[in-house]
Structure 1
């Protein structure tokens, strides 16, 4: 029977971060779903994050021998969460402490200089506001109308504005207008913006270098969706001559969204066409990405060979060849 890995975490509502975690294996997903009353139709792959009460935790410890005991911490306000381990893209795989969900303690230690939240949850804001009232943090709020380009994707039709909340250490207030300017620069997010953002948050240079190199290797670069398509022998040779700086305008292509967590499905694209010899991955500017999607957010998309030169003008970086046959 196949097994899946899950993570139980104890979240401290005062420090607003995880303070205890354990990983355990599950040999029967149905048994776990029965314990926490998860709706298998809504979340068949167990991709969600679930709040666990005391009785559910006791049942999980008994059935799967998780051995998780957050009560031993003797902390007044703890929530227990359950999530399935994500392979390949988990922040736990990064060789340094990523600030996500650790913003508050890192700022209190002075290791993080800035925190930015878009449409922040009330409980998160309350946790940070306590330190504003104590004079340790500085806070600024920006309220902007929802961009017209994002309105078609908004779940709540009444969500008409974006509320950005910034916190800095006292004396680091200059980071807020710098970050706000960075996000308003337009032109689509890129590697240079990513580096500047990391510096403003307070990451070290080696950490930023690792993160960018990892993103380039794993998902084809910074910003936007990664796409892929299969190419034939002549097209692959054309790409090699072009230094992998463009897609070959030799034939029509079928474009898919590239999923870095599903190599099996991605490699299967080669089996769709016996003449295909390689799979190419690329990223596009935000302008061309929206034009390509055109309301179809799942794909695939048919690109005529006459359209490929225009696609090439909007490539964000080199084209990567992931699989060869």
Structure 2
């Protein structure tokens, strides 16, 4: 019987972070769904976050032998949450504490210098504002109208502006205009912006180095949509001679979106092309992404030989070869 991994967490409403977690295996999803009365129509993959009341926690502990005991913390205000562990790109797989959901305690310890929230939840803002009122943290708010191009993707018809809320430690206020400038620079997010953002947040150099290397390995670079295409033996040899800095302008190619969590799907593109010997992954500038995605956001895209030099001028970094096979 297949099993799924779930996580119970105790969330401290004063420090606004998880203070206790326990992972457990579930061999009967229906039993867990019945305990928490989960709506299988709204969440068929059981991938949502669920607030757990005391009776539900007792039932989960008994049915799945978890032994989760948040009462032992003797904290006045906590909430219990249940989530299914995500495969592949979970922040729990990172070899250091990612600031996400731990912003407030890290700032109070002086380890985090800056926090930035877009359309922050009122409860989150209230938790941080308590420390602004105590003159421990500094706060600034920026409200900008949603650009016309993004209005179709807005949360709702009344969501006409983006509200960014910044918090810093006292004495670190300079980080806010620096971060604002970074986000307004335009031209598409890249590895250099990612490094500067990490420094402004307060991450250590080795942590930023690991994160960028990890993103390069997992999705082909920082920022934007990763793409892939198959190449034949002549094209692969051309790429090798070019130092993997360009796609081979030898024939038409079909470009697909690459999903780092679906390697098996990407690998399946090879046998579909009888001439293919490798799968190449690459990232493009924001300008070229918009040009490529115009009118077709899911792909694939057929690129003729004359268009490939233009594609190559907009590559953000080297081309990665993910899968190889013997020439047919």
Using the size of structure 1 for normalisation, the TM-score is 0.96
Structure-1 separation of matches of 2:29 and 2:172: 47
CA shift in 2, pair 1:272/1:43, >3 Å: farther
Secondary structure (helix, strand or coil) at the match of 1:76 reads coil
The yes-or-no answer on 1:72 pairing with 2:72 is yes
- The alpha-carbon deviation at position 111 of structure 1 amounts to 0.5
Secondary structure (helix, strand or coil) at the match of 2:148 reads coil
The yes-or-no answer on 1:305 pairing with 2:305 is yes
- 1:267 equivalent in structure 2: 267
The yes-or-no answer on 1:178 pairing with 2:175 is no
- 1:282 equivalent in structure 2: 282
1:112-127 correspondence runs (5 A): 112-127=112-127
1:71-150 correspondence runs (5 A): 71-150=71-150
- The alpha-carbon deviation at position 103 of structure 1 amounts to 0.4
The one-character-per-residue Cα deviations of 1:61-99 (angstroms, maximum 9, x if unpaired) are: 222212212122121221111122122211111111111
Unpaired runs of at least 5, structure 2: none
- 2:221 equivalent in structure 1: 221
Name which of structure 1's ranges 314-323 and 300-309 shifts more when overlaid on structure 2. Answer: 300-309
- 1:154 equivalent in structure 2: 154
The yes-or-no answer on 1:36 pairing with 2:52 is no
The one-character-per-residue Cα deviations of 1:139-162 (angstroms, maximum 9, x if unpaired) are: 000001112232222231221111
1:26-65 correspondence runs (5 A): 26-65=26-65
- 1:165 equivalent in structure 2: 165
The yes-or-no answer on 1:189 pairing with 2:189 is yes
CA shift in 2, pair 1:272/1:30, >3 Å: farther
Structure-1 separation of matches of 2:81 and 2:61: 14
- The alpha-carbon deviation at position 44 of structure 1 amounts to 2.7
CA shift in 2, pair 1:120/1:310, >3 Å: same
Structure-2 separation of matches of 1:44 and 1:155: 22
- The alpha-carbon deviation at position 295 of structure 1 amounts to 4.1
- The alpha-carbon deviation at position 185 of structure 1 amounts to 0.5
The yes-or-no answer on 1:3 pairing with 2:20 is no
- 1:319 equivalent in structure 2: 319
- The alpha-carbon deviation at position 31 of structure 1 amounts to 2.2
CA shift in 2, pair 1:55/1:307, >3 Å: farther
Structure-2 separation of matches of 1:306 and 1:43: 46
Structure-1 separation of matches of 2:25 and 2:5: 4
Using the size of structure 2 for normalisation, the TM-score is 0.95
Name which of structure 1's ranges 202-211 and 127-136 shifts more when overlaid on structure 2. Answer: 202-211
The one-character-per-residue Cα deviations of 1:239-284 (angstroms, maximum 9, x if unpaired) are: 1111111112222222222111222222112122222111111111
- 1:245 equivalent in structure 2: 245
- The alpha-carbon deviation at position 32 of structure 1 amounts to 2.0
Structure-1 separation of matches of 2:256 and 2:3: 29
Secondary structure (helix, strand or coil) at the match of 1:88 reads coil
Aligned residues: 325
Structure-1 separation of matches of 2:79 and 2:172: 32
The one-character-per-residue Cα deviations of 1:8-60 (angstroms, maximum 9, x if unpaired) are: 11111110000000111111222222222333333333222222222222222
Structure-1 separation of matches of 2:302 and 2:74: 58
Name which of structure 1's ranges 91-100 and 268-277 shifts more when overlaid on structure 2. Answer: 268-277
CA shift in 2, pair 1:307/1:47, >3 Å: farther
Structure-2 separation of matches of 1:321 and 1:260: 14
Secondary structure (helix, strand or coil) at the match of 1:131 reads helix
Q: Which runs of 4+ in 1 moved over 6 A?
A: none
Structure-1 separation of matches of 2:165 and 2:92: 26
